[in-house]
Every structure is written in structure tokens, then in C-alpha cells.
Amino acid sequence: MTSLSGAQANLRNLFPRIRASETAYLDSAATTHKPESVITAMQRAAVEGYAPVHRGLYAEAESASSAYEAVREQCGNLLRFKPQEIVFTRSATESINAVAQSFLTPQLNPGDWVWVSELEHHANYLPWQRACQASGAELRVLKINYETGAASAEQIEELADSRTRMLAITGQSNVVGVMPQLEPLIQVAHAVGAAVLVDAAQCLTHQASELARLDADFIVFSGHKVFGPTGIGVLAARYHHLEQMEPWLVGGGMVDWVGEGAAKSEWSDIPARFEAGSPNYIGVIGLGAALDFVQKLPEREVAEHLLRIGSYAHHTLSQLPNIRMLTPASAAATGVISFIHERIHPHDLGQVCADHAVAVRAGHHCAQPLMASLDIPACLRASCSIYTSRADINRLMQALEHAERLFL
Ligand code: PLP
């Protein structure tokens, strides 16, 4: 088992790009770098193991199909869903859109309520907004206490209204790192017969066991934020919900019998019916290798590293003049640290950081509703991962101090 304790330098060494680059990479909430094991697995899949999935009877095609299905099982085991309840998509975004369009929209009526939180990424806001617009339902927004992660008693009472059809909520904000307390919200939503989707895009790496314990109807995440490739996402969905859903894409590999003319076709079994088109074999194998990597990391040590590095970043940043922290100290352990400078625009700061080869993100982070609730147009985000070092944070500090000298 890879150990983080006393061996953080070794861990950095597992990431070829981090090892070789001069850049202080502080943008892991946007996308994570890949360890050697993932790159090797994808390369092998592209060369030795390459064959179509579910489309050939020859040996290579059979073994590619088995390897692909083994990753489905791995995802199911990770989140405590059955293998048939795992659907491969392109991304968390596609997974959420699929649920909004194929599960929720057909059962939504005028006057129904769909809940999201104010922390949501646009990927977990716009699909529900569109479902509401199409049906005359109302999109309601839960406020989350930054310190406790709880919703207010009044809002929980509203959530318990029989008009509530769906709750779609993040496991962790991609901007302020806050992690809503999901369990009580799920209980309340279920008590009124509503379904719950958890957006695990930001928290899968360090919260897999907690997510597995939740009684969520749907859990979604993306490969590229868990040390895997882009272009592969997961939708974990309870079987009885999948039975209700029409395929959102139709085409090859998802149909048993094609009806003549406009006659009805017969879809393949679940989950094949939701994976139209040639499967993303290399992406799925890369995802499997990434999840292997994550599962071999001792969860407690990952958590301790993120706590150490996140707290260091939070503490040192908050010592700088003119800085207003948006991530509360209680969420520093997520490693997602956002802030604004009271007198320098985030884009100017982002540019100075770029000039110092410090990779941070400036902007609204695809979370405009959150920016509106914070009453700011944009902010700067430094996001850490298991390969982030104190030296990376120190480089950020130097860039920010230089910006102060430049602009003030
Ligand atoms: N949800 C959250 C919380 C995110 O941070 C992101 C991406 O940043 C997404 C969803 C969308 O992920 P993807 O772009 O991989 O679909």
C-alpha cells in the first residue's frame, strides 16, 4: 500500500507531470494530474489490449469486454451499487443531464419543487433549471451554513413538503470547499418520496466510504477529477429508477430489436441500453486504474495530508493584507481554498500568478449562483491534491506579494 506519511515526495514522484514541471499546480479542483499507473494502463489498453467492447467474438474483443465490465463492478463496489446500476457516461455533467432529462422531466408537473443548494456548480444547476422551465416546476435553493454544512431548520421544513420531487446536491463545493451534511437532507427528501442525486465530482477521492454509506438514489462523478482521464464519467443509479428511464442516446450497442419504420424498438438490458455508441474503452480502463490508485491510498493519510496542506494554505493566505477568505477555516481540509483581494481583481491576480508559473483559477468557477450569494463577480481559487507541497503554496504567496507591489 502506498504510504503518504513521511513519503510525500515519493508520492509526488508517482505523477510524471508534477515531477517534471516547474509550475506550482494549484488547480486540482479543475482537473487532477495522472499517476504513472493510470498512464501505463491507458497505454496498454491502447496497444496490447485494444479491441472493440461488446462487439466481437474473437479473443481480444472478449478480453476487452471483460476488462471493461470489471471496471463497472469496481465502481459498484466502491459506491455500494450493483454493477448493473453503474452507467458509463462522458462526465459528471452528462450523468446529471441524463437524470434530469430522462428520470425527472417526464414525472415533473407544474407546481412541483426541485431543490438544489446555493453551492452548486452549473453542471448541477442548469439541468434542473431546464427541467423546471420545461414543466412549470419551481427550482428552489437551499442555503448551507458554511461552518456546519447544515441547512436551516426552516428550509428543512420546506424541503419536507409533499411538492418536493427531487434534491440534487453537491458533496463538496468546488469553490468554498464546504461539504453539506447530506444524510439528514436525504432522509427528509426520501420521507416525502423525492429522489436524491449527489454530485460527488469534488469529493470522491477523499469521501468514497462516506458516499457509499449514503442512501442516495444517484451518485455522479468524473474520471479526470480522481486522477483518471477526461471523457469518462459515472452515473450510479438505483435499478428501479433506471427501469423507469428512457435511453437519452440511441444507436449502436443498446438495442436488441429495431422496429420497422416508426415501430417501437426493444432496448437491450440495463445498463447496456444507456451506453449507445462504441464504448470508451481506453477511458474506462484509465478510470479503473485511477480508482485502484485511490483505493490503495490510505484514506486517513490522504485526509491528514489534505488537512495539513489546506490548513497551511488557509492560514498563510489569511495573514496577507487585503485578503478576504471565502473558504471557511472549517473547510480547509478539502484543500479547496478560495479568496478575494479587496483591491486587486481576481483576473489580475491570476495573471500575476501565471507569470510566476503558479497555476490557480480566477473567475466564477462555473458557480454564478454562488458568486451572486457571496455578492462578488469572481474569486481566486487555489486547489490542492495529494501531490501538493508547501513549496507550491509558498510560490503562490510570493506571486501574491508581488501583485501587491505591482498594483498598490
Ligand atoms: N460538479 C462539480 C462540483 C464540479 O466541480 C464540476 C467540475 O468542475 C462538475 C460537477 C462537472 O464536472 P465535469 O466538467 O467533469 O463534467
Same domain (yes/no): 329, 192: no
Q: In what order do the strands lie in the sheet with 233-237?
A: 86-89, 233-237, 218-222, 195-199, 164-170, 113-117, 138-142
Q: Does the residue 146 lie in any domain?
A: yes
Same domain (yes/no): 258, 288: yes
Same domain (yes/no): 367, 238: no
Nearest to 216 by CA among 247, 238, 232, 243: 238
Same domain (yes/no): 204, 243: yes
Question: What CATH number is given to the structural domain containing 289?
Answer: 3.40.640.10
Domain containing 254 equals 41-295
Q: Does the residue 272 lie in any domain?
A: yes
Output the pTM of the full model.
0.97
Do 375 and 22 form a contact (C-beta atoms < 8 A)? no
Q: Does the residue 398 lie in any domain?
A: yes
Given the DSSP bridges, would you call strands 361-363 and 358-359 parallel, antiparallel or unpaired? Answer: unpaired
Q: Does the residue 384 lie in any domain?
A: yes
Q: Does the residue 2 lie in any domain?
A: no
Same domain (yes/no): 290, 369: no
Same domain (yes/no): 230, 331: no
Cα dihedral 49/50/53/55 (nearest 10): -120
| H or E, element range at 404 | helix 390-407
Which ligand 1 atom is at minimum distance from the Cα of 92?
Answer: 16
Domain boundary among the residues 295, 313, 342 is at 295
Task: Please tell me the distance between residue 287's alpha carbon and the centre of ligand 1 in angstroms.
Answer: 16
pLDDT of residue 134: 96
pLDDT one digit per residue (tens) for the chain, 408 residues: 444 544 566 788 999 999 999 999 999 999 999 999 999 999 999 999 999 999 999 999 999 999 999 999 999 999 999 999 999 999 999 999 999 999 999 999 999 999 999 999 999 999 999 999 999 999 999 999 999 999 999 999 999 999 999 999 999 999 999 999 999 999 999 999 999 999 999 999 999 999 999 999 999 999 999 999 999 999 999 999 999 999 999 999 999 999 999 999 999 999 999 999 999 999 999 999 999 999 998 878 888 999 999 999 999 999 999 999 999 999 999 999 999 999 999 999 999 999 999 999 999 999 999 999 999 999 999 999 999 999 999 999 999 999 999 999
| Structural domain total, the chain | 2
Do 61 and 91 form a contact (C-beta atoms < 8 A)? no
Residues with a known catalytic role: 366
CA atoms within 13 A on the CB side of 288: 22
Give the span between the Cα atoms of 169 and 180, in whole angstroms: 8
Do 279 and 66 form a contact (C-beta atoms < 8 A)? no
Nearest to 399 by CA among 27, 23, 32, 30: 23
Output the ligand 1 site: residues, CB below 6 A: 91-93, 121, 123-124, 170, 174, 199, 201-202, 222
Same domain (yes/no): 68, 204: yes
- Name which residue sits closest to atom 14 of ligand 1, judged by CA: 93
Same domain (yes/no): 154, 245: yes
Q: Does the residue 67 lie in any domain?
A: yes
State the amino acid at position 124 in one-letter form: N
Which ligand 1 atom is at minimum distance from the Cα of 120?
Answer: 3
> Which of 93, 176, 179 gets mutated to test ligand 1 (max ligand atoms within 8 A of its CB)?
93
Same domain (yes/no): 74, 214: yes
Please report, for the chain, how many H helices and E strands are present, in that order: 15, 15
Domain boundary among the residues 295, 325, 347 is at 295
In tens, the pLDDT along 119-129 reads 999 999 999 99
Do 295 and 206 form a contact (C-beta atoms < 8 A)? no
Question: What CATH number is given to the structural domain containing 308?
Answer: 3.90.1150.10
The three state secondary structure string of 199-211 is ECCCCHHHHHHHH
Do 154 and 100 form a contact (C-beta atoms < 8 A)? no
Q: Which residues contact 240 (CB under 8 A, 6 or more apart)?
A: none
Q: Does the residue 23 lie in any domain?
A: yes
Same domain (yes/no): 70, 213: yes
Domain boundary among the residues 268, 295, 322 is at 295
In tens, the pLDDT along 217-239 reads 999 999 999 999 999 999 999 99
Same domain (yes/no): 163, 184: yes
CA atoms within 13 A on the CB side of 369: 19
Do 211 and 176 form a contact (C-beta atoms < 8 A)? no
DSSP summary character for residue 320 = S
Task: Please tell me the distance between residue 337's alpha carbon and the centre of ligand 1 in angstroms.
Answer: 17
Q: Does the residue 259 lie in any domain?
A: yes
Same domain (yes/no): 306, 291: no
State the amino acid at position 380 in one-letter form: L
Whether omega for the bond prior to residue 83 falls within 30 degrees of 0, making it cis, is no
